[in-house]
Amino acid sequence: IVYSIPTLIVLVIINIIYVKTSIIGAIFLFLDMATIFAFAISLGFFLSTLSSDIVQSWAFSGLVSPLLTTIPPVYYPLSYIPLPFRYLAFISPTTYATLIAQNSAGFAHLSESTLIMYWLILIAITLIFAYLAMRRSRWRDV
């Protein structure tokens, strides 16, 4: 995550300049992007512990990518998902990160309790996958 900090800072600065996000919103946007990045690293590391061959791991990307980017409202508003199916979007942690980012940029207006709940869910899922990755990994000297 250390190597991605400059990129995240550039994205936040661009957001401040063009979207006119407040400084507080920019800080929350940075923290949101850093958290979802940590989630992605944890998930990738965990999935790498499940396969013994690089070719096997390619199958994961075909399954995980739509579940994390296409189905959840990453590229479109949550309101575009029909109401009976909207709850399915909340299976993915990227939905929580997206709604936090939209709130930070001023595109969505979430209540304080909803925002806190989304942060807790996002952090919990990230920590769970980090724990699972560390638990399943076996370090070897080669």
| Secondary structure (DSSP) of 12-53 | HHHIIIII---HHHHHHHHHHHHHHHHHHHHHHHHHHHH-SS
pLDDT tens, position by position, 43-84: 988 988 888 777 777 777 888 888 888 888 988 889 999 988
Q: Can you give the pTM of this predicted structure?
A: 0.86
User: Is the pLDDT reported for residue 124 higher than 90?
Assistant: yes
| pLDDT per position as a tens digit, 18-29 | 988 899 999 999
